[in-house]
Chains A and B, each alone.
Chain A
């Protein structure tokens, strides 16, 4: 008789619980000043974080050093489509995105050189033990660290260009789920854990800033896509019935996760010396992410050497507005808002990325200790729209490898940073 063969289908790599401020599993908590202004940064220059938002704007940015970190506090609720198990909440885990930038150049000169480190993608989600979706996902933890080297040049006092070389310097994934196989004498099903580190990959970003007057600036920027690839990740299986082992002989896995490119346009307006307004629009090329495909090495996992899970993401738009007001020479306050459209289509929502259209509200301030040093603080609150999918939706989409039900997420993200001007 053939032993149970259950496809460990698909699986997922990344989640959105910390995916604050951008659709899918983007994090985008780079630069405390930008975060506090609704995530704008394409059409103006605030500080060295311009390297991330628009390298073209970086040519005009002040030189100096900055470092900051955030604490993303997600609250995800799930209620199954059927059954009376009631609402499931996550074992809420806080995650800590960070960023740091340094920018050099002549104080009033035409060029800037810079370097940065930041965490544009990542997430961590831990569902309650025994939850409905345990066979889709129980735990996920993805970390990524990017480093960037940037050069920018002001061609004229009105126009500047810049570009950065971006590297996925560190990426790790830890994906866990239960397998619907149970051993005699055991009260819990088998469990699979997939862990691995991503290869180093290069990408780039580039941008232009046009500044027709002191009161107005316009920017365009582009970040390239990167394929995050985990070469030979480890498969760890626990509680597997002995008679099923031949169907779970794989020892390692290979997976590629496409990270999207981002097109941004932005506008900066300074009606007077104290007030700055910023408007941004982003188009995120999530449609690259059509399916998540695993290849297993050293045998099979659940009787199959490969698995594929439909994602069929769509490109997503986000609109952002921010403002800052300089109350004193030492104290500046900021606020902003954004509306970010989901890249996940109806009926394709997965537990690892319970994505939805979301509204963000931001606030923050800077306090300068004298001329050189200062402290930035930001706060972001994101409210995801409630999102439901039924079992019939999943069946008609061929996406029954996830669970039907209703998700609702909110995220709060306080952040703090320090800077030093050269």
Chain B
């Protein structure tokens, strides 16, 4: 080789270098290769069964409908379990037929008199144009919903069900135990899941005992305090399940449920406890201070500066509301409205005469709120003890939701909070999550299941799922 390189030779290494460079340019780093693979660990999700109430069923915006049912947290969990290769091939939800996809109907945000307002579907407004599933066979509530006719589903969530109403063994009071047994005639969401022959006789625990899961989740107990709380602490004499459940009955019922679904402790799963209901938008969206400030600034009200908001407490006392009293979401549309005896400006709750206080069912007064919080803590203790006995982890939704209420939760650059409408997580009923809220809930289940069992189930990107839709 000569020391002097003619050009046509010397140019070659340079061109080869350029070629190598262009080759490198096509290289995309593979970060997936370095990430931990999805693994079920010791778990088997091939027959995953979810038991619970409205939260489990995928209830949102005050109704059960196909769109949100499809993104209920059990459906999202089943989807993520599937990534481990040991997931259910087909997670069956008791969906409504496509022509009646809007199920029980759901609240929509609409512009009413120039302002945004959640509008509840009803026969009077033609169900807001929704394709509802009421059959009309039972005109008084609960009106019958289109029956689900497939095989017993895997998502067994029944809106409205409590531990007390789920197990005929929970209460020793014959009326209550009997009502639990005949729950299929009392709750249209349970009714639609049962064959007609079972509706008056099969309690929920017997119904879930028909399944043979390899893994289960259970989130029950909320309605043992929530039904009472959302009704402003007013017990409905016609509804045996409308009071707070006593701890003895709750313990018996919860043990019955876990014993049945775990097949006496042999099936793995996870349970969730009861969030503090006083943190949810249903009780936080209408603060007493804001209402009182509004009354005092109302130019239509005589002597407005001296006026205030008056409520009827659970004991029947009429008094001025304080910041320790929690007004319910429906109270918003009641306060200040005229009645036959007190036409506006002396509307409901306004003080001028104290003769027209806000009815008790629209306010969870300070005493009632404290009782609900105390009972929730007691029931959560029972849930923890029972879970320990059946060797399943507890997803501490109480702590989780308190954290969200305090700090919010950020998902990929989106700030979510417990605020009504603007917070993305709670739907228009102020109690149940939006699809995004359900995804956040599913991630918390996954986190706890992974921690407890050593599995590596991947979590979800909640931003894929919607918050509240705006008109």
Contacts and interface: CB of A to CB of B under 8 A. Distances in A.
Given A87-B31, A87-B32, A414-B18, A184 B471 contact: yes
A258 interface: no
B14 A243 contact: no
A330 B5 CA distance: 11
Interface in B1-59: 4-5, 7, 10-11, 13-14, 17-18, 21-22, 24-32, 34-35, 38
B200 interface: no
A414 B24 CA distance: 11
Contacts of A406: 31
Contacts, number: 155
A314 interface: no
A400 B410 contact: yes
B470 interface: yes
Q: Secondary structure at chain B's binding surface: helix, strand, loop or mixed? A: mixed
A232 interface: no
B324 interface: no
Interface residues of B, number: 53
Listed residue (A87, A89, A330) with the most chain B CB atoms within 10 angstroms of its CB: A87
Contacts of B421: 1-2, 4
Interface string A384-403: 00100001001100001111
Interface stretch (A52-60, A77-85, A150-158): A77-85
Interface in A347-403: 363-365, 367, 377, 379, 381, 386, 391, 394-395, 400-403
Contacts of A185: 469
B116 A243 contact: yes
A24 B108 CA distance: 46
Contacts of A7: 415
A77 B30 contact: yes
A183 B470 contact: yes
B460 A83 contact: yes
B420 to A, nearest CB: 8
A243 B117 CA distance: 11
Given A77-B29, A85-B461, A4 B443 contact: no
A86 interface: yes
A1 B29 CA distance: 48
A136 B35 CA distance: 23
A367 B38 CA distance: 55
Contacts of A180: 414, 424, 463, 467
B459 A82 contact: yes
Interface stretch (A118-126, A127-135, A277-285, A286-294): A127-135
B99 interface: no
Q: Secondary structure at chain A's binding surface: helix, strand, loop or mixed? A: mixed
Given A1-B115, A3-B116, A184-B470, A330 B7 contact: yes
B413 A402 contact: yes
Given A134-B463, A381-B21, A414-B21, A242 B471 contact: yes
Nearest to A380: B21
B14 A365 contact: yes
A84 B458 contact: yes
B460 A328 contact: no
A417 to B, nearest CB: 14
A401 B413 contact: yes
Contact of B38 (A78, A84, A89, A409): A84
7 contacts: A135-B413, A186-B469, A331-B10, A333-B10, A333-B14, A410-B29, A414-B18
* 3 closest residue pairs by CB, A with B: A84-B458, A412-B25, A241-B470
